[in-house]
Structure 1
Amino acid sequence: MNFSSDNWAGASQPVMDALTRHNHGSAPAYGADPLTDRITQRFRDIFETDVSVLFTATGTAANALSMAACARPGGLVLASETAHLHCDEWGSAEFYTHGMKILPLATTAGRIAPDAVAEALAKYREGSRFGVPAALSLTQATECGTVYSPGEVAALTARARENGLVCHMDGARFANALVHLGATPAELTWKAGIDVLSFGATKNGCWCAEAMVVFNPQSLPHLAIHRARAGHLFSKSRFVAAQFDGYFEGDHWLDLARSANGAAARLAEGIGQGGRARVAWPVQANEVFAVLTQAQIAKLRGEGAKFYEWSREGCEDDEHVVRLVASFETTAEEVDRFVALL
């Protein structure tokens, strides 16, 4: 019963098969190989527009380097108060941008309200000694397992773009958000005002495959240089491309996300039955945030369940919000055993 993180899951068999399939012969290095070209075209087909695609090893690198490419002296990055960029990346964005500050915005169930962006833009104008907003970063799906609709993304980016901000999306769980919404990748990104997407695949069945997908190269003109200087230009780029080859083939990436989302929905339904516990926020991707008592937490862990305690927001004295993450490998048997123990 491992609900700690989708990062704990392995790679899917089609992804591993693709790595083996492309592990023969020689190929040009540093992204000049035919497979990387083919996968770049596959990204263009998926997003229905011309994009540049730069592979990285981690989502943290994709986020931080995207910020570095749009950095300005005294710049501010508007992000949610729970964003991975703000809470979990060891100051990497601040480091790679040479000192831009992350300005955390209040959220409801992980989502930033358009008014919060407007208030920040009004407060920190040109000439402010604290800094000037340079970028807006949205997390899709959010760190609370909720998603932004295309309309909500567009409403947030419209205010930012009017003020000259670059609009970034942290898509570590992009596929999970996509299948929940039933939207197209284009509708959720560049058609809604996103300039650059950190496209995550590692959490959803790849071994080590992340990419910066750039829709508006004018807003990040030196991104490729930032990537190379930071040590994230793969010499054997074809092996990242190979993972994406297996990932995209036959819409495998969407099937993986549907499986994880389905396991999370089954888990949330079981938790809510019979009043044994409650779910803190809507379950819209592959994460469930459940309010459990300390006794329930101790019993579940004693039986081998793995998960993280998250917060005490909205809790009684003996309660805690815990995060339960389903992956493409999560089985119905794991979910049902957890619910039975609860």
Structure 2
Amino acid sequence: MQFTSDNAAAVHPAVWKAMMAADAPDAPYDNDALSRRLDGAFSALFGRECAVLWTATGTAANCLALASLVQPHGAAVCHREAHIEMDEAGAPGFFLHGAKLLLADGASAKVTPQTLAAVVDIIRDDVHQVQPHAISITQASEYGCVYRPDEVAAIAAFAKTRGLGLHMDGARFANAAAHLGCTPAEAAGDVDVLSFGFVKNGGMSAEAIVFFDVEAARAIRYRRKRAGHLQSKGRFMAAQILAMLENDLWLDNARAANAAAAEIAAAAPGRLLHPVEANEVFLTCTAAEREALRGAGFAFYDWGADAARLVTSWDARAEHVGPLAKAIASL
């Protein structure tokens, strides 16, 4: 019974169906009919003009997005436990040709204007120090906690006062939007570029980079090619994304994953390390308790010496979630 990662989930049948439908001759790269629909589809979703590029991985989406904001001699500011710092094997430095990540603090892996200022405002404005060019925030955070629209607005205002770009890592953007119950535009706020995740939410191999500054996307098309991420049969990438957007499937899938996480969290109120606002549950759990859960057939990741991380997916099965909740409650 799999609770290690939403990356382990099945591909949604609608995505397979869309890819089969796309299996016909069309123009290569991103000149096909489906790829050309992406700008309009996301512009309608966010209620503002967008330029959208597909890519195969969240790492590439984040790093190409940051490349539109950060020069090689500069830096992006992020939480010290952000995915781009902890789980991308130095990819930001590789894609950004040596640009740095500057690390900020904040509860539940969320930054605030105050924690950002503690990093940014001590940097001298001279050529001897790396200058911040952008901020990157994660929606939902590495601990499954969601930025409210007012929190994003405060960070965006801070970024503007410091002349910084703002990127949002939205690997679990759908889960955040589902929790907030607001529009996608409200969940994203006034960011410059959004990495919109689909793979964790029922997609197979496609993520979207959504540029709210349309001109910024032009240069990144060249960088995507140079980085080896311009797939020759791009229609299969676009097909996945469009299938997820149709009839708000992306939101339905996220709601299902969030509901499963909430059921598990309800069984362990005294163990929760962070609020459960998306599809991740972090709880205190001794080595013996983790062994007992695994012995009962549940797969998950340890999170340090006395904690566990449980991740639910769009296809979480009631006959798995219910027994896990009961097993945790009985520890």
User: Do these two structures clear the TM 0.5 threshold for a shared fold by scoring above it?
Assistant: yes
1:253 maps to a residue whose letter is W
Shift of 1:221: 5.4
1:245 and 2:231 correspond: no
1:306 to 299, 306, 324: 299
1:331 to 300, 306, 317: 317
1:13 aligns to what?
Answer: 13
Shift of 1:244: 1.6
1:258 aligns to what?
Answer: 255
Shift of 1:129: 2.9
1:209 and 2:206 correspond: yes
**Measured at CA, do residues 71 and 33 of structure 1 come closer, stay the same or move farther in structure 2, by a change above 3 Å?**
same
**Measured at CA, do residues 154 and 38 of structure 1 come closer, stay the same or move farther in structure 2, by a change above 3 Å?**
same
- State the identity as a percent: 43
CA distance in 1, matches of 2:282, 2:190: 30
**Measured at CA, do residues 53 and 43 of structure 1 come closer, stay the same or move farther in structure 2, by a change above 3 Å?**
same
CA distance in 1, matches of 2:71, 2:238: 32
1:113 and 2:99 correspond: no
Shift of 1:144: 0.3
More moved, 159-168 vs 206-215: 159-168
1:77 aligns to what?
Answer: 76
Q: Please tell me whether the aligned partners of residues 79 and 109 of structure 2 are also in contact (alpha carbons under 8 angstroms).
A: yes
CA distance in 2, matches of 1:71, 1:174: 22
| 3-state SS, counterpart of residue 303 of structure 2 | strand
Q: How does 1:265-304 map to 2 (within 5 A)?
A: 265-272=262-269, 278-304=271-297
CA distance in 1, matches of 2:290, 2:310: 12
CA distance in 1, matches of 2:218, 2:38: 22
* CA deviation vs aligned residue, 1:177-215 (integer Å, no higher than 9, x gap): 0010011111222xx320000111000000011011000
Shift of 1:218: 4.8
1:120 maps to a residue whose letter is V
1:4 aligns to what?
Answer: 4
1:44 aligns to what?
Answer: 43
Shift of 1:247: 0.9
Shift of 1:220: 6.0
1:184 aligns to what?
Answer: 183
Q: Figure out how many residues of one structure are paired with residues of the other and give that number.
A: 328
| 3-state SS, counterpart of residue 146 of structure 1 | coil
Q: Please tell me whether the aligned partners of residues 107 and 113 of structure 1 are also in contact (alpha carbons under 8 angstroms).
A: yes
Q: Which runs of 5+ in 1 are unaligned?
A: 313-319
2:91 aligns to what?
Answer: 92
CA distance in 2, matches of 1:85, 1:3: 23
**Measured at CA, do residues 249 and 221 of structure 1 come closer, stay the same or move farther in structure 2, by a change above 3 Å?**
closer
| 3-state SS, counterpart of residue 129 of structure 1 | coil
**Measured at CA, do residues 247 and 220 of structure 1 come closer, stay the same or move farther in structure 2, by a change above 3 Å?**
closer
1:32 aligns to what?
Answer: 31
* CA deviation vs aligned residue, 1:228-258 (integer Å, no higher than 9, x gap): 1101112111101111222112111110000
CA distance in 1, matches of 2:14, 2:104: 39
Q: How does 1:156-171 map to 2 (within 5 A)?
A: 156-171=155-170
Shift of 1:279: 0.8
2:147 aligns to what?
Answer: 148
| 3-state SS, counterpart of residue 299 of structure 2 | coil
Shift of 1:339: 2.5
| 3-state SS, counterpart of residue 301 of structure 1 | helix
RMSD: 1.4
1:225 and 2:211 correspond: no
Q: Please tell me whether the aligned partners of residues 195 and 219 of structure 1 are also in contact (alpha carbons under 8 angstroms).
A: no
**Measured at CA, do residues 4 and 302 of structure 1 come closer, stay the same or move farther in structure 2, by a change above 3 Å?**
same
Q: Please tell me whether the aligned partners of residues 54 and 237 of structure 2 are also in contact (alpha carbons under 8 angstroms).
A: yes
Q: Please tell me whether the aligned partners of residues 113 and 156 of structure 1 are also in contact (alpha carbons under 8 angstroms).
A: yes
**Measured at CA, do residues 283 and 128 of structure 1 come closer, stay the same or move farther in structure 2, by a change above 3 Å?**
farther
* CA deviation vs aligned residue, 1:131-161 (integer Å, no higher than 9, x gap): 1101100000000000001110110121112
CA distance in 2, matches of 1:106, 1:220: 30
1:317 aligns to what?
Answer: none
1:60 aligns to what?
Answer: 59
1:112 maps to a residue whose letter is V
1:23 aligns to what?
Answer: 23
Shift of 1:71: 2.5
1:322 and 2:319 correspond: no
2:7 maps to a residue whose letter is N
Q: TM-score, normalization: structure 2?
A: 0.95
CA distance in 2, matches of 1:122, 1:216: 26
1:315 aligns to what?
Answer: none
